Amino acid sequence: MRAGELDQHVKVMRQEEAVSTSGSGATLETWVQVTRLRARVTPVSSRETFTNDQRFASATHSFRVRFRQINPEWRLEWRGEQFNILGSLPGGQRLSEFVDIVAVSSVATNPEY
């Protein structure tokens, strides 16, 4: 894989629990950055549905990065948008050259009538 093909920056995020600083003792779940990778991003599919006066839109992308272990519980952030990881597939001549991470973003909005 040539470095020039990896023309986008993607943040890899993991969820962590933290105790609230308000004194309530409540635990908060936040996403923290694990690392930042260079990737080739390819749109795979998109879809839009309407349910109970809400519009749901989702887009699936493939993120090709140099080979590394990816935890499916993590998520990716690209151009300020969050993508939940669906799975990853190793590739290349030795199956350790790169990994394609398939991830989906979804947004729910109220349509304007």
pLDDT digits (tens, 9 = 90+) for 52-81: 778 888 899 999 999 888 899 999 999 999
Q: How many CB atoms lie within 10 A of CB 61?
A: 21
pTM exceeding 0.85: no
Structural domain for 75, as ranges = 3-109
CATH code of the domain containing 82: 2.40.10.270
Which residues make Cβ contacts (< 8 Å) with residue 82, sequence separation at least 6? 13, 31, 75, 76, 105
Query: How far is it, in rounded angstroms, from Cα 73 to Cα 84?
Result: 8
DSSP sequence for 51-100: ETTEEEEEEEEEEEEES----TT-EEEETTEEEEEEEEEEESTTS-SEEE
Number of domains in the chain: 1
